[in-house]
Amino acid sequence: MTAGRILVVEDDATLGQSLQQRLVLEGYTVRWARSAAEADSALKGVAPDIILSDIRLPDGDGETIMRRHFERFGLVPVIFMTAYGDIDQAVRLVRDGAVDYVSKPFDLDELVETLHSISRRKSSSAQIGAAFAGSQAMRKIGATLLRAAEIDLPVLILGETGTGKEVAARYVHEAGPRKKLPFIPVNCGALPAELADSLLFGHERGSFTGATGVHRGFFEEADGGTLFLDEIGDLSPVLQVKLLRVLETREFRRLGGSETRKFAARLVCATNRDLGAMVAEGQFREDLWFRINVIACKLPPLRERQEELPSLLESFASAAAARLGHGRIVVDEAAYEAAKRHRWPGNIRELINRVDRAVALGDGKALFEADLFPEGLVQMPTDLGGSAGANATLSDVRNAAERAHIKAALARADGSAKEAAESLGVSRTTLWEKMRRLNIGPDDT
């Protein structure tokens, strides 16, 4: 079995050849591209597990190669080989998603060691990494998380509900050296007050009425892996104190137990609340906030990641279609446009739910605007004559909803006004009249 596929992009024949020989000896399948054009065509074939690239090439640069590849396949470990004058650029590239850089001349043994350690941890982190590839904002966050994965410091992930905070936490775990150890997610907002201690720290037999056996808590289950404390802003004041103590001493005891146990896991926390404001209002302990807020990273809401909508819509629609045994589902253009106008208060979770429902109740072939927004698009500021939605009158909103619904019905009926009118429960004359008033032309079908 090969140690992995490496694409080496290097125009210097001597260096390229020695890298190729050495890496083949180390068990890698190596593709050597001598120019940006060769790298581009190599990347159209089988995606490599690692890219090792020169920054300056005769016909382009490593940065463009990296960005283009990220856009297509998501984050892939990239190591740059830089000449002395390129160090600033290399540092910037590491900030934008490259894993590392080596300055020429470099020690080949050290480079091989770095490649081995990367290749040992690829696999599942690469899959989750695809979640951080769809937009510039997410690529930046993916890059921060990748670096955070290497450093053993607490990570705090912020963002509205459904933006992918747990996905981000798993990415930190999967991309780091603890990936083979447990990942334990805990929803702090759902811990029942009377059981919270026992759930978190465990209990000994007989430590309270009903404690008939020994129980290992989440802190113990996490072992040397990752403990993910979701909704940390919902932690009660009492539990905030207890958590702070564990983080300070890195020790805890089971309820009713005398043995002190080590807390060996890495901590990742998340919240959709404004912890800074909670600290200011005395609802969250400042000392605990300092402890958990070491590397912070904020996931933008879906409405600010519009470039991701086409690929997310398509992938969720295909997944739903596959589950229901449908063939390929085409996402209608108007559905994309409507998705761009929607505010997505529930973010990606809302998108998944809407697509699942739309595919289940739709015709199994296409996903239309009205399937996605059966209630009518009430949150669509740009469809309301370009004016801000907040200023729209009720009749603007009604017209926009009617327009969307009629367009979808016409599209489903392949442009047949007769069929569309039947499905809408109105006469053909009424439909024509509405189409004229709402300015729906033949191109809208």
Ligand X SMILES: Nc1ncnc2c1ncn2[C@@H]1O[C@H](COP(=O)(O)OP(=O)(O)OP(=O)(O)O)[C@@H](O)[C@H]1O
Footprint on this chain of ligand X (rule: CB under 6 A): 131, 159, 161-167, 230, 272, 348-349, 352
Instruction: Compute the least distance from the CB of residue 189 to ligand X, in Å.
Output: 9
Output 317 or 404, the one with its CB closest to ligand X. Answer: 317
Output 4 or 129, the one with its CB closest to ligand X. Answer: 129
Instruction: Compute the least distance from the CB of residue 193 to ligand X, in Å.
Output: 20
Would you call 393 helix, strand, or coil by DSSP? coil
Chain position carrying tokens 């509205």: 160
Instruction: Compute the least distance from the CB of residue 68 to ligand X, in Å.
Output: 20
User: Any bridge partners for residue 229, and if so which?
Assistant: 186, 269
Residue 158's Cβ-side half-sphere holds a number of Cα atoms within 13 Å equal to 13
Instruction: Compute the least distance from the CB of residue 345 to ligand X, in Å.
Output: 12
Instruction: Compute the least distance from the CB of residue 168 to ligand X, in Å.
Output: 7
User: Any bridge partners for residue 155, and if so which?
Assistant: 268, 295
What is the C-alpha separation between 292 and 247, in angstroms, rounded?
9
DSSP state at residue 299:
P
Of 300, 280, 284, give the one whose Cα is nearest residue 292.
Answer: 284
Instruction: Compute the least distance from the CB of residue 349 to ligand X, in Å.
Output: 4
Output 133 or 384, the one with its CB closest to ligand X. Answer: 133
Output 57 or 355, the one with its CB closest to ligand X. Answer: 355
The b-or-e profile of 164-203 (16+ CB within 10 A means b, else e) is bbbebbbbbbbbbebbebebbbbebeebeeeebbbbbbbb
With CB atoms as reference, the residue minimizing the distance to ligand X is 164
Output 80 or 284, the one with its CB closest to ligand X. Answer: 284
Output 359 or 408, the one with its CB closest to ligand X. Answer: 359
Is 280 exposed, middle or buried, given 0-12, 13-18 or 19+ CB atoms closer than 10 A? exposed
What is the C-alpha separation between 423 and 110, in angstroms, rounded?
68
Cα-trace Rg, the chain: 27
